[in-house]
Amino acid sequence: MNKASLQLIGALGWMAASSSLVWAATIVPFNTVSTGAAPSSAPNCYPAVPGGANILDQEWCYGATYMGGQRGAVGSLYRVKPDGSRFKTLFSFDGFNGLFPSQSPVLSPDRQHLYGDTSQGGSQGSGLVFDYNLATNQITNLHSFIGPQGSTPQGPPILLNGTLYGLAGQGGTNGYGIIWSLQPGQPGSYTVLRNFAGGTADTAMPFGSLTYNPADGLLYGSAFSLAENGMGGIFSLKPDGSHYQLRASFTPESGGVPQMGAMVRDPATGIFYGSGWVGGANKLGTIFAFDPSTNGLSAVFSFTQATGVQPYEGPILSSSGNWIYVVTWYGGSSANNVMGKGYGTILAVKKDGSDSKVLYKFNKTSGGLGFSSASLSADGSTLITTTGVGAKYGAGAIVSINIPAKYR
| CB distance 255 to 279 below 8 Å | yes
| CB distance 397 to 83 below 8 Å | no
Q: Residue 370: its pLDDT value, please?
A: 81
Determine the average pLDDT of the residues in 97-102.
89
For β-strands 397-402 and 382-387, DSSP reports them as antiparallel
Cβ neighbours of residue 368 closer than 8 Å, sequence gap 6 or more? 330, 336, 338, 342, 343, 344, 362, 387, 388, 389, 390
Q: In terms of residues, how long is the chain?
A: 408
Instruction: Say whether pLDDT at 42 is over 90.
Output: yes
Determine the average pLDDT of the residues in 33-46.
91
Instruction: Say whether pLDDT at 40 is over 70.
Output: yes
Rounded-to-10 torsion of CA 276, 387, 394, 285: 20
| CB distance 38 to 395 below 8 Å | yes
Q: Residue 97: its pLDDT value, please?
A: 87
User: How do residues 288-334 score in pLDDT, each as one tens digit?
Assistant: 999 999 999 999 999 999 999 999 999 999 999 999 999 999 999 75
Q: What gap in Å lies between CA 144 and CA 187, rounded to an integer?
A: 12
User: How do residues 170-215 score in pLDDT, each as one tens digit?
Assistant: 999 999 999 999 999 999 999 999 999 999 999 999 999 999 999 9
DSSP one-letter string for 229-270: TSB-EEEEE-TTS-S-EEEEE-BTTTBB---SS--EE-TTT-
List of E strands, 2-127: 8-9, 14-17, 20-23, 26-29, 44-46, 60-65, 76-80, 88-92, 106-107, 113-118
| CB distance 277 to 256 below 8 Å | yes
User: How do residues 128-180 score in pLDDT, each as one tens digit?
Assistant: 999 999 999 999 999 999 989 999 999 999 999 999 999 999 999 999 999 99
Q: What confidence tier does 13 reach under pLDDT thresholds 50, 70, 90? A: very low
Mean pLDDT of the chain: 91
Bridge-partner residues for 191, per DSSP?
181
- Provide Rg for the chain, Cα atoms: 20
Q: What gap in Å lies between CA 325 and CA 332, rounded to an integer?
A: 15
Instruction: Say whether pLDDT at 14 is over 50.
Output: no
Tell me the HSE value of 374 on the side-chain side, using a 13 A CA sphere.
32
Q: What gap in Å lies between CA 125 and CA 114, rounded to an integer?
A: 21
Instruction: Say whether pLDDT at 38 is over 80.
Output: yes
Q: Which of 291, 207, 192 is nearest to 244 (CA)?
A: 192
φ/ψ (deg, to 5) at 185: 85, 0
Determine the average pLDDT of the residues in 66-89.
89
Reported as type and span, the H/E element at residue 399 is: strand 397-402
Per-residue DSSP letter, 37: B
Determine the average pLDDT of the residues in 379-399.
95
